[in-house]
Amino acid sequence: MTIQRLLAVFLLGAAFATSPAFADHDAVHFFSNIHVAQNAYVHDAVCFFCNIDAEGEVKGDVVVFFGNIHIASKADHDVVSFFGMVTADDNASVGQDMVSMFGAVRLGENVSVGKDLVSMFGMLRAPETVTVGGDRVSMPGWFFFGPMILIGMVVIVIVRELRSRRRRQYRMNYPFPPQP
């Protein structure tokens, strides 16, 4: 039996041996916003290139890539946002961690975060009444973008000087204006 046939047999066996995954009350959307009504709930809410508006309860995690999160009442586990804004209304609660990468976090009065509050390379606006059970980490955007702008400017100057040097060498080999 050749290696290709043996591999095909193992792949077919693995495909038939796996059990299907069940996601009861989960919401996973691409390019379509998720809205949890006030008296409704959802277990996990995951959104790619869209927004999550949770007026009701989220019993699991809230994760957004390139979109915004709005928590009006309660999220029992983690709230994670990449390249988007996280907003929590007054008296809202997050059961575990709240993480925002390259985005803004705006928290209302008396918001509680069970464990850690992390805002990396973005803006954090949290009044004094916000309760954080663990660490509060905030690194502003200029901490990342400042060195990137400086490096970009150095690269631009180096490229400009190299091109200028090549033009000068080119002009030295070809006299201008041409001799008659």
20-46 pLDDT tens trace: 444 568 888 899 999 999 889 899 999
Kindly tell me the burial class for residue 5, based on how many C-beta atoms sit within 10 Å of its own C-beta (0-12, 13-18, 19 or more): exposed
Residue 54 CB coordination number (10 Å): 27
User: Is the pLDDT at 159 greater than 80, yes or no?
Assistant: yes
Please report which confidence band the pLDDT of residue 12 belongs to, taking 50, 70 and 90 as the band edges.
low
Supply the pLDDT for residue 177: 66
What are the boundaries of each domain within the chain? 20-140, 142-180
Each residue of 59-88: pLDDT tens digit?
Answer: 999 999 999 999 999 999 999 999 999 999
Supply the pLDDT for residue 22: 47
Supply the pLDDT for residue 10: 73
Alpha-carbon torsion, ordered 106, 110, 111, 116, to 10 deg: 100
Residue 82 CB coordination number (10 Å): 16
Each residue of 88-143: pLDDT tens digit?
Answer: 999 999 999 999 999 999 999 999 999 999 999 889 999 999 999 999 988 887 77
Supply the pLDDT for residue 14: 63
Supply the pLDDT for residue 93: 93
**pTM exceeds cut of 0.85:** no
* Distance in angstroms (rounded) separating the CA atoms of residues 87 and 109: 12
* Distance in angstroms (rounded) separating the CA atoms of residues 7 and 30: 34
Indicate the range of 81-90, 150-159, 161-170 predicted with least confidence. 161-170
- Which residue, 83, 92, 81, 96, is CA-closest to 126? 92
Dihedral pair phi/psi, residue 93, rounded to 5°: -140, 145
Supply the pLDDT for residue 148: 86
